[in-house]
Amino acid sequence: MKRWRIPLASCLLLLGLAAPTTAAHAATPAGVTDPASLVNPLLGTSNGGNTFPGADTPFGMVSWSPDTSSRPPGGNYAYSDNVVTGFSLNHISGPGCGAMGDIPVLPTIGTVDGGATQTFSHSNESASAGAYAVTLGNGVQTELTATARSGMARFTFPASTQANLLFKLNADKATNLHFNRVSSTEVSGSVDAGLFCASAPSYTAYFDMVFDQPMTGNGTFNGGDSVTFNTTNNRTVQAKVGLSYVSIAGATANRAAENGGWDFNGTRTAAHNAWNAVLNKVAISGGTSDQQKVFYTSLYHSLLHPNLLSDSDGRYWGFDHQVHTVSGNQKAQYGTYSGWDIYRTQAQLEALVAPQQASDSAQSLVNDYTQAGFFPKWSLNSAETQVMNGDPGPAVVADYYAFGARNFDTATAKAAMVKEGTTSNPIRMGLDLQTKYGYLPSDGAYPKDFYGSAATLLEYSAQDFATSAFAGALGDTTTQSQFANRAQDWKNEFNPSSGFIQPKQANGSWKSGFNPTSSDQFVEGTSWQYTGAVPHNIRGLADAMGGNAKYAAYLDSVLSDLHGSGGAHADLGNEPSVELPWEYDYVGQPWKTQKIVRQVQDQLWPNNPANWGVGNDDLGTMSAWYVFSAMGFYPETPGTADLALGSPLFTSVDVTLGSGGHILVNAPAAADNAPYVQSATLNGANWNNAYLPPSFASSGGTLNLTLGTSANTNWATAASSAPPSYNGNGGAKPPGPPVGSTGPVTSDNAGKCIDDNTGSTTNGTKIQIWSCNNSTAQQVTKGTDGTLQMVGKCVEVTGSGATANGTLIELWDCNGGNNQKWTYNSGTKALVNPQSGRCLDIPNSSTNDGTQLQIFDCNNTNAQRWNLPS
């Protein structure tokens, strides 16, 4: 979500393209062993990035961080400021509206002044993963670190009888302020806060803080309280604070459970190690020092939210305004979901590298639905703010599942998705109108409770597809079909005459005065930026526009500038544009994806906190985009593990999956000026496709890439090389497999799998049945042209005109011939070759491994019944 767009002050030069085909591999840093040491939390604190630099742990409740005088939204810290107003206990990373920043504490000297602020300089400041330190203009050194639910501070004052800590409780419009001196070494209290983007819902933040030396006094001022220490003999005052959204007792217990001693250095080391535990899930080698730092800082920013809500005893404040306790497999409850943003990138990355937390995040959303009757759209802790448009909650849950986070109540999740997508509720606004018209009319005369009619329909279409994919993964083909069909409602607002998505009125006419550079009926964007926002069916969109050439021309035009805030150009610092660079993969020009993505990385992502180019990080959404792009692939289609392929920044990437598998990407010639794929192998077999199969994300695999400085305009350009698109099935009959689906094809005859003998890529290799083993040799993709593809080649009836019973099935280069085409009858489960009219068959209904397949007269026996991947 972006609320303020600040132009990029200065841009790096565009990527220069050299003539050689391959790049010499320059000396680069060795493999990273301590990624937390490369994190620079100051990145993103300028030009509207709205991140914060303070101390935190992955997905932590506490983020103890400085607030500066301009108090930009969420992060409350601007790199251009030189005045600190306080160090508050919680923050939101990168939103477009202000919230949190609760219970700021400011160290001062002398007479208590509740309005006091302190100057600082970046030369006296340091920030790292899990720690922050600064020496203020008054001479007080403030050092901060954190555990998941508590913070620890070390304030080193000048020698003074009046060393103060000011508790500015009314910061960020907090109300109902409470402060209690429990003893000479303990204070506690609470505030009511919230009001995100002026929304009404709020929460109560409770705290309990203890000190390692006694207070010598305390007092009050307008909007807060103070405590005073005598530091003439001991200049250092240490403090530990627990935070809770349930009670002061919960805050006290959180502090005691997570930080029982007074070892500041040890606590800081533990926070550093906690970050390394998750950052090390993605090991990289190569790249420049700057690229490594931006990469791990982006991964760090991707894993700050959603944040812990439940206390150490499992209790949390629910959406129904009641206290609940986590149960079953769930370890913790999480909150603060910027759904409109994170369903595009961050949810997938969270599931990839932190599947337990992502599973708990999914269960948290299911709990929210159970308590409130809807999935959150943009929640702040335990309350819905109704910020932004669309219905992203189901897509977030489906993303988690697709990328391996599956330890949650999937049955309840699916039932909730179906109910939210079919019955009136506060989130799916305009459902009745979409049901009636097939789109969301823009007419002001029609009652409606949504805004941005054209953009919202596109959001609903993508999110309906995510529900369809989730239902299909759970085996519910009826729901899969229902939502896959409605996911094509975007077609009702595409105008083939103009080539743009346009607002439409209830009478079926296009809204007058349409201008594709206008934001009318769009949200934080224009029709130029939104027309490509059909991530589940780029093939259908390109066809509607007139074919690949016209769609590529649209992309060329909108991507000719990468940081427009409106008009006719993309804004790669905001969510409606982030999928566009990857869409060349779908129309036979993957080299342009490789080029544009590298330009975005170079121009908008500098290792310089003063010149940030991305804008709002939106709770890790933009950072997750960078992480995926730097690894070389991107989750274009919500609710699936389909990956559009680009090229990596690094010579090697190793992602450790929750399943124990590894994603390995090797690109020895990777360099900043060498984004172009010359050739590829996947698990040892030639790979000529601009995508990676879903099994790559779920089970792992090895992708080897040869990169160069000049575009290879022949690699992965065939229609069959495009990533999957999903066009629905018209709703007339049970669904067949979606175009582009990848996975094993099993037989009803023996429960065995179609198999490419030994995983060979040699023409003429026999296609056989074999015991299912989830190997690359058993991954089948249904191409957009009706082919069945394995290891980058096609399943063929041997011989260009062969039609006879018993003709054998082999693997051959894809050539567009009818002997390589197959249609699927979802009723009989037969795969029919249109050239011969005969069915794919297991000879004599054999169950023996190695039996080569044939074509034979269709007879509806189990030897001809096949189950394709959903």
pLDDT digits (tens, 9 = 90+) for 19-43: 233 333 334 456 899 999 999 999 9
Span 605-615, average pLDDT:
94
Domain architecture of the chain: domains with CATH:
40-279 (2.70.98.10), 429-531 (1.20.1610.10), 742-867 (2.80.10.50)
> What sign does the dihedral 826-827-830-832 (CA atoms) show?
negative
579, β-bridge pairs = none
Residues facing residue 824 across a β-bridge:
831
Identify which of 624, 142, 595, 75 has the alpha carbon closest to the alpha carbon of residue 346.
Answer: 624
Give alpha helix (H) positions in 306-384: 339-342, 346-353, 355-372
Is it the case that residue 14 has pLDDT exceeding 60? no
- 762-821 pLDDT, tens digit each: 999 999 999 998 888 999 988 767 889 998 889 999 987 788 999 999 998 888 777 898
Could you give the count of Cα atoms lying within 13 Å of 841 in the half-sphere of its Cβ?
20
User: Percent of the chain beyond pLDDT 70?
Assistant: 94
Alpha-carbon dihedral sign for residues 721, 723, 729, 733: positive
Question: How many beta carbons lie within 10 A of that of residue 447, not counting itself?
Answer: 9
Q: How many residues does the chain have?
A: 870
pLDDT value at residue 784: 66
What secondary structure letter does DSSP report for 504? Answer: B
Residue type, 112: V
pLDDT of residue 740: 57
C-alpha–C-alpha distance, residues 639 and 470, integer Å: 6
pLDDT in tens, 384-409: 999 999 999 999 999 999 999 999 99
Q: What is the pLDDT of residues 655-704, one digit of tens each?
A: 999 989 999 999 999 999 999 999 999 999 999 999 999 999 999 999 99
Gap between the Cα atoms of 440 and 435, Å rounded: 9
Please indicate whether residue 858 or residue 458 has the higher confidence score (pLDDT).
Answer: 458
Structure tokens at 123: 């030369």
Report pLDDT for 141.
98
Q: Which helix (H) or strand (E) holds 626?
A: helix 621-631
Instruction: Give the contacts of 455 (CB within 8 A, at least 6 positions apart).
Output: 389, 521, 522, 523, 525, 530, 533, 576
**Does the pLDDT value for residue 18 go beyond 90?**
no
3-state secondary structure 118-148: EECCHHHEEEECCEEEEECCCCCEEEEEECC
C-beta of residue 597 within 8 angstroms of C-beta of residue 629: yes
pTM of the model: 0.84
pLDDT digits (tens, 9 = 90+) for 364-385: 999 999 999 999 999 999 999 9
pLDDT digits (tens, 9 = 90+) for 235-284: 999 999 999 999 999 999 999 999 999 999 999 999 999 999 999 999 99
Preceding omega of 306 cis (within 30 degrees of 0): yes
With cut-offs at 50, 70 and 90, classify the pLDDT of residue 307. Answer: very high
Tell me the average pLDDT across 642-648: 98
pLDDT in tens, 837-858: 789 999 999 999 999 999 998 8
- Helices and strands counted in the chain (H then E): 17, 47
| Backbone angles phi and psi of 332, in degrees to 5 | -160, 155
Of the candidates 833, 646, 831, the residue with the CA atom closest to the CA atom of residue 723: 646
Report the pLDDT value the prediction gives residue 497, as an integer from 0 to 100: 96
The pLDDT, as a whole number, for residue 555 is 98
C-alpha to C-alpha distance for 176 and 195, rounded to whole angstroms: 14
**Which value, in Å, is the radius of gyration of the alpha carbons in the chain?**
28
User: Tens digit of pLDDT for each residue in 628-640?
Assistant: 999 999 999 999 9
Cα 647 from Cα 674, distance rounded (Å): 9
Mutual angle of helices 410-422 and 453-473, in 10-degree steps: 150
The C-alpha atoms of residue 135 and residue 317 are separated, in whole angstroms, by: 37
Q: Is 112 exposed, middle or buried (0-12, 13-18, 19+ CB in 10 A)?
A: buried
Nearest to 165 by CA among 209, 104, 226: 226
Question: How many Cβ atoms are within 10 Å of 14's Cβ, its own excluded?
Answer: 11
pLDDT of residue 761 exceeding 50 = yes
Strand-pair category, 662-666 with 701-708: parallel
The mean per-residue pLDDT over the stretch 581-590 comes to 98
Predicted confidence at residue 198, as pLDDT, reads: 81
Cβ distance 364 to 394 under 8 Å? Answer: no
The sheet with strand 746-747 has its strands ordered as 742-743, 780-782, 788-790, 793-797, 809-812, 765-770, 753-756, 746-747, 866-867
Give the span between the Cα atoms of 374 and 384, in whole angstroms: 10
Q: What is the pLDDT of residues 829-838, one digit of tens each?
A: 889 887 777 8
Average pLDDT along the chain: 92
**pLDDT value of residue 821:** 87
Is residue 577 pLDDT above 60, yes or no? yes
Beta bridge partners of 782: 788
Structure tokens that stand for 679 in this block: 């050739």
Specify burial of residue 488 (Cβ count, 10 A radius: 0-12, 13-18, 19+). buried
Task: Specify which residues 242 forms β-bridges with.
Answer: 150, 208
Distance of alpha carbon 735 from alpha carbon 740, whole angstroms: 14
Q: DSSP for 253-296, please give it.
A: HHHHHH--S--HHHHHHHHHHHHHHHHTTEEEE-S-HHHHHHHH
Beta bridge partners of 726: none
The pLDDT value given to residue 9? 33
Angle at 684 between CA 682 and CA 690, to 5 degrees: 20
8 Å CB contact between 782 and 741: yes
Q: How many CB atoms lie within 10 A of CB 249?
A: 16
- Report whether pLDDT(734) > 70: no
CB 729 within 8 A of CB 481: yes
